[in-house]
Structure 1
Amino acid sequence: MPSMLNDLSGRWSLGSSAVGLNYLLLMLVWLLLWRLSALMEYAPHASLWFPPAGLTFAALMMLGWRALPALALCAIGATFWMGHIYHTGSPWQELLTAGALFAVAHCSAYGLGAWLLKRLIDTRIMASALAVIPLFLLLGCLSALGAALAGTGALESAGIIDSRDAGASWLAWWIGDMAGVIVLTPLFMGILSWRYARPEPWLGSMDLTLLNGPPGRFVLKLAIQLSLLSLTMLVAAHIRTEEVAYALFFLIIPQMWIIYTESALRSALSLALFSTAAALWVALLGLVEQSLTYQFAICVIAASSYFGFTVPALMAQNRQLAELAFHDGLTGTLNKRYFFERAEQQLTVARHQGRALSLVLADMDHFKQINDTYGHDIGDAALVKLCQRLRKALDDGDLLGRFGGDEFILLLGNAEAAETRIERLQELLAATCVPGTEQSLSATFGVVTVAEHENITMAFKRADALLLESKRQRHDAERQSAPFSAGESRRQ
């Protein structure tokens, strides 16, 4: 997988001024998110959730070490801003020291987590949402824990808090950071991949677009989700018990509705709005006594939602595996094993209905000569073109499979019309050129009606014998005629 630095080089070629503006925008957003989290602070240095943690983790994932200077300046700026808001009276030297220590603690914890997550993803042969999401949840939680422990330790070292406050703050700090990381990192990564850098290949497998279907339905779903949230929080404010606070967990149902019906980025946006609204309601209604309950509810809903993202990815992988297991990779026809399974099922149904089936073997003429003369690419194209023509002879319920090489097998549900359909198919092939040449496409056929005492394998052996006889007769006839003439068929 190409490195992130190589990926970024093409996107940052507009000049240093554009790069500086991008980083200035990143810093502005980070500080605004910090101020928003400070409004939801319910304990010293502990917010209901900490959105800057999600932006830091996302920036380090997408931009790597290039984001460190901007993030460090944000941490220092937030420390000075905090001193101004709370009128701590601390001298600027003390605030600068505290800010620098906080920057080191914050950036190192999330930088290590982002680097390790990228490293684990890069070492996988196939990185998919199914593998990435558990890694992200684990390392996101551990990074938030590291940031909380290092952050409280940094403030204690700078003299901002004492050891007693540090011991009482680290858990609330961790849960707030963890909520911000788990909830917002995927959304911020999607935005950063659009604004700053090309997404990694494993991100490209997820639907990082908001333009997935009409926005009206998405807005309606959001309105229903946020209305239910508001109703739940108002009831919790009126009846202040833990049992009512736990009702927030049930709102995972409308969230999963959005997850399964909208794109990944729309789902991440809905999760971010839901979590922001929940945190704001807690702050506005003064539901501080149940803060941890609401924080854990947000984290659980977010984690469950991300595992919900894996369902479409898993379904797509299953479809791909089914295609590989049951279909020929070149022509898209059924492979031999699956054709025989389906054909036996069709035969059972047809006998119950009193219908006779025809089994047809088709062998492309002069396939070796085409490969030797024009190359294997033309040979492959000729096989694909032959399949396209064979499909024109199929009705609903008929089957087409590739037996091997240049041999194909058909099961026709109308035995009486089989010979006529093959004759028309021969005429169609005679009017079709081998791709890239002026030579006509042709094939030889062996056609049998499946007898009452036969299974598909027995009928196949008879059709194969007829096909070999037809090829021998054709070979004798072609000694006196030009190559690439239309094929002939035999019927029994």
Structure 2
Amino acid sequence: MEGSCPERHSRFGNKWFSTLSKPVLITVAWILLWRAAALMEYAPHASIWFPPSGVTYAVFLIFGWRAIPIVLFASITTTFWEDSIYEAHKSSSTLLLTGLLFATAHCFSYWLGATILRKLSQTGKQFRIPYLILMFLTIAATSSLIAAIGGSNVLAITGIILPSEIMSLWGPWWVGDLVGVVVIAPITVAILSKYYPKESHWLVENFKSVYEQSSLLNYLYKQTIAIVVLALISVLVSIYPASSVVFCVFFLGIVQMWIVFTESAGRAFLSLGILSTTTAILVSWLQLGNHAMVYQFTISLLAANTYFGLWVPHILLDNRNLRILAERDVLTGAQTRQYFIKNVKNEISRCRRINQPLSLALFDIDGFKQINDTFGHTVGDKVLTTVSQHVSKEIRPADLIGRFGGDEFMLLLPSDDLQHAIQAAERIRDSIECLSIPSLERNITCSFGVVEITSDDTFVSAFERADNFLLDAKKCGKNQVKPILQ
């Protein structure tokens, strides 16, 4: 008992440390990203992007209004820091008011946008990808616009900038915030989802990659190419500032989409972050401020293309799954009735063109209803699966097996005339008798009806003849092939 008290205190302390440390780390990250943006400014209060806006949007997406203290504290802290950077020497009361007003405008715009996105995502599946992407980008653009207008007016109201500077500031501010949101928000969500899985699963689950992640070396190779392309274009812009070479930066989208279509979602977003940071550094170092808006819109377009590009593999995967459902019976793996009939018609045309024989066989499992009634449907399903898989292994690669329905299956045997088709059916029938299934205290047997498809046959007429032979096999005692070879 004496030792249990310190243990409780230790667990209590660890819990409080875990609870408090994460918000503190988020706050520190917000401030550090703000400082990074300040270092990459190409003009006072103007950077290619503003990463803290992405953190703000992400924490409101995950935590809702509970994230307000984090952003509030970070905003006030950076306001005082900004004053020291620009050596404006504003009074503490002015800076505190500026920080509070900026935090209010900043928090309101991104909290509102995040709240709307959360509500839309919870209304139903119709707002999942790609609609969730469209909503995210639209709301991000609107929220960042509100934040830019509100923030620039706050700076003017508190005397940080002149009122006449608002018109020249809000545009770059808006695009910079927008780039920060669309680039940093998904990265922040991905990081926070590891520590807050319940709060973030609704968003993270939609961006799971359908590709296996390639080697790190391959990714770094592609990323290096993207950085080199960006750097070369930027150097050319600095050498020929009056030319239109700056628009070549849009070709960066080709390399980024290469990464999107061959790498995981996490690496695609990481690439976007790396390219955005590299762009901001190059614009600042090479003094490309006159072309800043072109770079900003390029990053915005890259981000939008990345989001929608990430969904293309999902669409292809969904289409493939739908095609599999249309072509393959879910339980047995045999071809579905519709797909089998389509293939039969194609084979009939092909075999007639090359004057090749073609046969059709129908078979079903003897006493299958009794198996279901006696041993249960689980055992019945196991019988269907076992028989289908066994027959699939027994037939040739060119032969086809389809499930007509229930326990009835169809076989298409190209190149086989009636005699060879009956021999194949007899061989398959004999092999089925050797199957054993746990919990099934009886042998499995099947009855077959076989026909050769003549030049006058359609699938329907051939099927009807094979079905009649199958009925004959049932009437004559089951576990046999009809017709019998003479």
- TM (norm. structure 1) is 0.90
Structure 1 partner of 2:356: 355
Amino acid at match of 2:435: T
CA–CA separation in structure 2 for the residues paired with 1:263 and 1:169: 36
- Name the stretch that deviates more: 439-448 or 136-145: 439-448
- Name the stretch that deviates more: 63-72 or 135-144: 63-72
Superposed CA deviations along residues 257-308 of structure 1, whole A, max 9, x for unmatched, are: 1111111111111111112111110000001111111111111122122221
Check whether the contact 2:42–2:287 (CA below 8 A) recurs between aligned residues: no
Structure 1 partner of 2:172: 172
Identify unmatched segments of 5+ residues in structure 2: 1-12
Distance 1:242 1:68, change over 3 A: farther
Paired positions, count: 469
2:447 is aligned with 1:449: no
Displacement after TM superposition at 1:210 (Å): 10
Check whether the contact 2:79–2:95 (CA below 8 A) recurs between aligned residues: yes
Structure 2 partner of 1:382: 383
What secondary structure is seen at the aligned counterpart in 1 of 2:207? coil
2:184 is aligned with 1:184: yes
Distance 1:128 1:383, change over 3 A: farther
What secondary structure is seen at the aligned counterpart in 1 of 2:477? helix
Superposed CA deviations along residues 408-463 of structure 1, whole A, max 9, x for unmatched, are: 11112242543333223223322223453333222221111212321222211110
Distance 1:346 1:201, change over 3 A: farther
Structure 2 partner of 1:7: none
Check whether the contact 2:210–2:313 (CA below 8 A) recurs between aligned residues: no
Superposed CA deviations along residues 355-394 of structure 1, whole A, max 9, x for unmatched, are: 2122111212222222222332332222222211121222
Structure 1 partner of 2:475: 472
Runs of 4+ in 1 over 4 A off after TM superposition: 208-211
2:139 is aligned with 1:139: yes
Check whether the contact 2:42–2:288 (CA below 8 A) recurs between aligned residues: no
What secondary structure is seen at the aligned counterpart in 1 of 2:197? coil
Amino acid at match of 1:120: L
Check whether the contact 1:63–1:197 (CA below 8 A) recurs between aligned residues: no
Displacement after TM superposition at 1:183 (Å): 2.2
Distance 1:442 1:115, change over 3 A: farther
Structure 2 partner of 1:8: none
CA–CA separation in structure 2 for the residues paired with 1:211 and 1:331: 28
Check whether the contact 1:33–1:52 (CA below 8 A) recurs between aligned residues: yes
Structure 1 partner of 2:401: 400
Structure 2 partner of 1:480: none
Structure 2 partner of 1:220: 221
Structure 1 partner of 2:62: 62
CA–CA separation in structure 2 for the residues paired with 1:48 and 1:213: 31
Distance 1:434 1:178, change over 3 A: same
CA–CA separation in structure 1 for the residues paired with 2:161 and 2:210: 44
What secondary structure is seen at the aligned counterpart in 2 of 1:474? coil
Identify unmatched segments of 5+ residues in structure 1: 1-12, 476-486
What secondary structure is seen at the aligned counterpart in 1 of 2:352? helix
Structure 2 partner of 1:28: 28
CA–CA separation in structure 2 for the residues paired with 1:374 and 1:308: 50
CA–CA separation in structure 2 for the residues paired with 1:370 and 1:205: 43
Structure 2 partner of 1:108: 108
Check whether the contact 1:130–1:314 (CA below 8 A) recurs between aligned residues: no
Check whether the contact 1:429–1:441 (CA below 8 A) recurs between aligned residues: yes
Aligned residues: CA RMSD: 2.2
Structure 1 partner of 2:330: 329
- TM (norm. structure 2) is 0.91
CA–CA separation in structure 1 for the residues paired with 2:27 and 2:209: 23
Structure 2 partner of 1:117: 117
Displacement after TM superposition at 1:126 (Å): 5.5
2:97 is aligned with 1:94: no
Amino acid at match of 1:490: K
Distance 1:241 1:197, change over 3 A: farther
CA–CA separation in structure 1 for the residues paired with 2:172 and 2:382: 64
Structure 2 partner of 1:478: none
What secondary structure is seen at the aligned counterpart in 2 of 1:403? strand
Displacement after TM superposition at 1:165 (Å): 2.6
Superposed CA deviations along residues 185-232 of structure 1, whole A, max 9, x for unmatched, are: 222222222344254255324336997121111111111111111111
Check whether the contact 1:210–1:266 (CA below 8 A) recurs between aligned residues: no
2:439 is aligned with 1:436: yes
Check whether the contact 1:129–1:313 (CA below 8 A) recurs between aligned residues: no
Distance 1:146 1:256, change over 3 A: same
Distance 1:204 1:455, change over 3 A: same
Superposed CA deviations along residues 81-105 of structure 1, whole A, max 9, x for unmatched, are: 1122222222222222211221121
Superposed CA deviations along residues 334-367 of structure 1, whole A, max 9, x for unmatched, are: 2212211111112222233332122111212222
CA–CA separation in structure 2 for the residues paired with 1:388 and 1:209: 28
Amino acid at match of 1:65: W
2:449 is aligned with 1:490: no
- Name the stretch that deviates more: 358-367 or 273-282: 358-367
Structure 1 partner of 2:256: 255
Check whether the contact 1:44–1:169 (CA below 8 A) recurs between aligned residues: no
Amino acid at match of 1:93: S
CA–CA separation in structure 1 for the residues paired with 2:211 and 2:399: 41
Distance 1:242 1:124, change over 3 A: farther
Displacement after TM superposition at 1:143 (Å): 1.1
CA–CA separation in structure 2 for the residues paired with 1:45 and 1:85: 11
CA–CA separation in structure 2 for the residues paired with 1:203 and 1:412: 49
2:430 is aligned with 1:427: yes
CA–CA separation in structure 2 for the residues paired with 1:353 and 1:381: 40
Displacement after TM superposition at 1:134 (Å): 1.4
Displacement after TM superposition at 1:54 (Å): 1.3
CA–CA separation in structure 2 for the residues paired with 1:26 and 1:428: 66
CA–CA separation in structure 1 for the residues paired with 2:178 and 2:202: 26
Check whether the contact 2:48–2:279 (CA below 8 A) recurs between aligned residues: no
Structure 2 partner of 1:83: 83
Structure 2 partner of 1:287: 288
CA–CA separation in structure 2 for the residues paired with 1:441 and 1:228: 66
CA–CA separation in structure 2 for the residues paired with 1:151 and 1:81: 16
Structure 1 partner of 2:158: 158
Distance 1:277 1:128, change over 3 A: same
Check whether the contact 2:83–2:89 (CA below 8 A) recurs between aligned residues: yes
Distance 1:427 1:211, change over 3 A: closer
Check whether the contact 1:393–1:422 (CA below 8 A) recurs between aligned residues: no
CA–CA separation in structure 1 for the residues paired with 2:447 and 2:204: 49
CA–CA separation in structure 1 for the residues paired with 2:201 and 2:232: 40
Distance 1:331 1:40, change over 3 A: same
